[in-house]
Structure 1
Amino acid sequence: MLLLVSGASGVGKTTARLHARHLFERRRLDARYETAELFTLGPVPAVPTIAWRQEQVEAAVRRAIALESEGKHLLFAGDPVPLGEALAAPSADRIDIAACLLDVDEEVHLDRLAERGEPAELVPLHQAFAAWLRAHAVDPGHLPEAVTGDAWQAMRWERWVGRSPGPEWAMTVLDTSHLAPQQVGAEVVRWCERAVRGEAPVFRAGWFARG
């Protein structure tokens, strides 16, 4: 299974991946889970583009498929990869995909962006993307052009673009506003275990043909 942790900048995706990896190792779950983010899947260009990101998402999907043959799962976290990009990756029809959106309230988000030294002119863009991700979590028809523009040509957007909200479109949302980094990691590990057991929303391989 591909376990995608999504979210806007500053919500704790990379921190969650690192703490989750530590917990996997401590609990001896690392034989069942591997972790990755974009920069671990290949060289990063000097100027990353949307198309490059989407090609790397396909690399993550293919890695998850390879791990599945070994009885393992891939936790893909650390980058602002929306659910729709994972579902539209060319090979995504061959693997089960679960997604967890990390979110924070607006005040906490602003504080975290300030702590990171984010340029003031970029803050509204981060806020807008966070709002889009919240809407995308429940409605595949909400401004799909936010991710389909300047896209890698191999992406299969027709799997979800144009769909209306419905029970087949679901993901887990985790509010990290008041959680310590270790707590976020622990919550992500719990979500991984629930998803693998089928106790959290999962897009089963080929789901779009049945929806």
Structure 2
Amino acid sequence: MLLTLAGSSCSGKTTLADALRTRMQGLVVHDHDEIGVPENADTRWRHRTTELWIGRALEYQSRGLDLLLTGQSPLGEILASPSAPLLDGIAVCLVDVADNERRRRLGARDRDRWSSAVLDAFIAWGAWHRGHAQDPRYRPNVITDGGWPEMCWDRWSAWTKDDPRWHTHLLDTTGRSIDRSVDHLAQWITQQRGASRSGQLALSNGRWLTD
């Protein structure tokens, strides 16, 4: 199955995923951007690359392995990716952090690399992720406009926030230790894998296309 840690920058996704690499059996960990990010990276590039990673997830799936992928792609982009229905299961966790803490972390990590406007964009992207996680009808144009033409948005565009298939787990790392957050994610992954094996996972085996 594919498990993703999504969200805006400096929420802790990479740090937490790295800590899980040797902790869980049968789980491989990758970052969306590790294959390289072009200078002109845009929404269309993110969509195409997400589909590439789903292809990798399917390769791992054929070997009995699950993929934990960190990146910026929210649930709506995963579900709209052409090959998503071929996955045994899909589970998304939004790794989030309070706006002021995200701004502080960005400043500490990158020093004076970003302008105030760019920092504001990171904050706005994080806020959008929160809205999208709760409601599929929250400003979908943010990810659909200018996107890759192969994306299948109609798979979920009619869903409402009460649809059980629309679920993103939330981990807020504000004020949490790394160890505590890693424990939380390990428990979440175990639960999602168990639900997938037992047929209780809402996003499994393409059933979510017709339910």
* TM-score with structure 2 setting the length: 0.88
In 2, Cα distance between equivalents of 1:10 and 1:23: 22
Deviates more, 1:96-105 or 1:163-172: 163-172
In 1, Cα distance between equivalents of 2:170 and 2:61: 25
Q: Could you list the runs of 5+ residues in structure 2 that have no partner in the other structure? A: none
Paired residue for 1:179? 176
**Local SS of the residue matching 1:169:** coil
Paired residue for 1:111? 104
**Local SS of the residue matching 1:137:** helix
Paired residue for 1:59? 52
In 2, Cα distance between equivalents of 1:142 and 1:152: 20
Paired residue for 1:151? 147
Shift of 1:155: 0.8
> Is the 8 Å Cα contact of residues 92 and 205 (structure 1) preserved in structure 2?
no
Q: Give the partner amino acid of 1:80.
A: Q
> Measured at CA, do residues 44 and 122 of structure 1 come closer, stay the same or move farther in structure 2, by a change above 3 Å?
closer
Correspondence 1:16 to 2:9: no
Deviations 1:161-206 (A, max 9, x none): 2321122211210111112334333322222111101189652232
Correspondence 1:4 to 2:4: yes
**Local SS of the residue matching 1:102:** strand
Equivalent residue runs for 1:74-113 within 5 Å:
74-77=67-70, 79-95=71-87, 96-113=89-106
> Is the 8 Å Cα contact of residues 85 and 209 (structure 2) preserved in structure 1?
no
> Is the 8 Å Cα contact of residues 86 and 205 (structure 2) preserved in structure 1?
yes
Deviates more, 1:109-118 or 1:148-157: 109-118
Q: Give the partner amino acid of 1:48.
A: A
Pairing partner for 1:122 from 110, 115, 118: 118
**Local SS of the residue matching 1:158:** helix
In 1, Cα distance between equivalents of 2:37 and 2:103: 28
* TM-score with structure 1 setting the length: 0.88
Deviations 1:68-116 (A, max 9, x none): 1211100001x21111111111000111110011111223222212223
> Measured at CA, do residues 45 and 106 of structure 1 come closer, stay the same or move farther in structure 2, by a change above 3 Å?
closer
In 2, Cα distance between equivalents of 1:48 and 1:85: 16
Extract structure 1 runs of 4+ deviating beyond 4 A.
199-202
- Structure 1 vs Structure 2 CA RMSD: 1.9
Correspondence 1:35 to 2:32: no
In 2, Cα distance between equivalents of 1:132 and 1:201: 25
